[in-house]
Structure 1
Amino acid sequence: MKKILNLGLGLMLLTVSAASAATITGAGSSFVYPLYTKMFAEYKKDHNVDVNYQSVGSGAGQQQIIARTVDFGASDNPMSDEAMKPAPGKLLQIPTAIGAVVPAYNLPGVSTKLNFTGKLLADIYLGKVKLWNDAAIKKLNPDVTLPGLPITVARRSDGSGTTAVFTDYLSKVSSEWKSKVGSANSVQWPVGVGGKGNDGVAGIVKSTPGAIGYVELTYAKQNNLLFGAVQNRAGKFIVADNGPAANAAQGVVIPADTRVSITNSANPAAYPISSFTYVIFYQDQKYANRSQADAKELKDLLNWMVTTGQQYNEPLDYAKLPSSVVNKAKALINSINYGGAKL
Structure 2
Amino acid sequence: MKLQRHGVVLAIAAAGALLLSACGSDPTTAGSAGASSANSPAVDCSGKKNLNAEGSSAQKNAMDVFAQAYQAKCAGSNIAYNPTGSGAGVKQFTAGLVDFGGSDSALKESETAAAAARCQNNPAWNLPMVFGPIAVGYKLNGITDLTLNGETTAKIFSGQIKSWNDPAVAALNPGKTLPATPINVVFRSDDSGTTDNFQQYLTAASKGAWTKGAGKKFVGGVGSGAQGSAGVGQAIGATEGSIGYVELSFAQDNKLSMAKIDNGSGAVELNDQTVGKAIEAAKVKGQGNDLALDLNSVYGTTEAGAYPLILATYEIVCSKGYDADTAKAVKAFLTTAATDGQANLSQYGYAPLPAEFQQKLLTAVQAIA
TM-score, with length taken from structure 1: 0.76
Match status 1:155 vs 2:188: yes
* Structure 1, unpaired ranges of 5+: 1-19, 337-341
> What residue number does 2:309 align with?
273
* SS in structure 2 of the partner of residue 248 of structure 1: helix
Quick one: structure 1 residues 222 and 43, their matched pair in 2 at CA, closer, same or farther if it must change by over 3 Å?
Answer: farther
2:87 touches 2:103 (CA, 8 Å); kept in 1? Answer: yes
Q: How does 1:84-103 map to 2 (within 5 A)?
A: 84=112, 87=115, 88-89=117-118, 90-103=123-136
Match status 1:246 vs 2:276: yes
How high is the sequence identity, in percent, across the aligned residues? Answer: 27
Displacement of 1:130 in angstroms is: 2.8
* SS in structure 2 of the partner of residue 101 of structure 1: strand
Displacement of 1:103 in angstroms is: 0.4
* SS in structure 2 of the partner of residue 277 of structure 1: strand
2:233 touches 2:251 (CA, 8 Å); kept in 1? Answer: yes
Match status 1:119 vs 2:147: no
Deviations 1:78-129 (A, max 9, x none): 334345455454431112244321101233x234122111111111221222
> What residue number does 1:229 align with?
260
Q: 2:64 aligns with which of 6, 13, 37?
A: 37
Quick one: structure 1 residues 141 and 233, their matched pair in 2 at CA, closer, same or farther if it must change by over 3 Å?
Answer: closer
> What residue number does 1:198 align with?
229
> What residue number does 2:35 align with?
none
> What residue number does 1:168 align with?
200
> What residue number does 2:248 align with?
217
Displacement of 1:36 in angstroms is: 2.7
* SS in structure 2 of the partner of residue 36 of structure 1: helix
AA aligned to 1:226 is: S
Deviations 1:120-166 (A, max 9, x none): 11112212223334333333335134242341332352241x23332
AA aligned to 1:72 is: F
AA aligned to 1:96 is: M
* SS in structure 1 of the partner of residue 106 of structure 2: coil
**RMSD between superposed Cα atoms in Å:** 3.1
Displacement of 1:237 in angstroms is: 1.0
Quick one: structure 1 residues 199 and 147, their matched pair in 2 at CA, closer, same or farther if it must change by over 3 Å?
Answer: same
Quick one: structure 1 residues 186 and 66, their matched pair in 2 at CA, closer, same or farther if it must change by over 3 Å?
Answer: farther
Quick one: structure 1 residues 205 and 25, their matched pair in 2 at CA, closer, same or farther if it must change by over 3 Å?
Answer: same
Displacement of 1:189 in angstroms is: 4.2
Displacement of 1:219 in angstroms is: 2.4
Match status 1:300 vs 2:332: yes
2:69 touches 2:337 (CA, 8 Å); kept in 1? Answer: no
Quick one: structure 1 residues 146 and 27, their matched pair in 2 at CA, closer, same or farther if it must change by over 3 Å?
Answer: same
1:98 touches 1:246 (CA, 8 Å); kept in 2? Answer: no
2:186 touches 2:235 (CA, 8 Å); kept in 1? Answer: no
- Paired with 2:256 and 2:306, the residues of 1 have a C-alpha distance of 22
Quick one: structure 1 residues 329 and 250, their matched pair in 2 at CA, closer, same or farther if it must change by over 3 Å?
Answer: closer
- Paired with 1:51 and 1:105, the residues of 2 have a C-alpha distance of 37
Quick one: structure 1 residues 318 and 299, their matched pair in 2 at CA, closer, same or farther if it must change by over 3 Å?
Answer: same
AA aligned to 1:138 is: A
Deviations 1:243-283 (A, max 9, x none): 01111133554453222222232321111213543222333
* SS in structure 2 of the partner of residue 247 of structure 1: helix
* Structure 2, unpaired ranges of 5+: 1-47
Deviations 1:217-253 (A, max 9, x none): 222123322111111232x111100001111133554
1:249 touches 1:265 (CA, 8 Å); kept in 2? Answer: no
- Paired with 2:83 and 2:223, the residues of 1 have a C-alpha distance of 23
2:189 touches 2:218 (CA, 8 Å); kept in 1? Answer: no
Quick one: structure 1 residues 237 and 151, their matched pair in 2 at CA, closer, same or farther if it must change by over 3 Å?
Answer: same
* SS in structure 2 of the partner of residue 244 of structure 1: helix
> What residue number does 2:99 align with?
71
AA aligned to 1:36 is: M
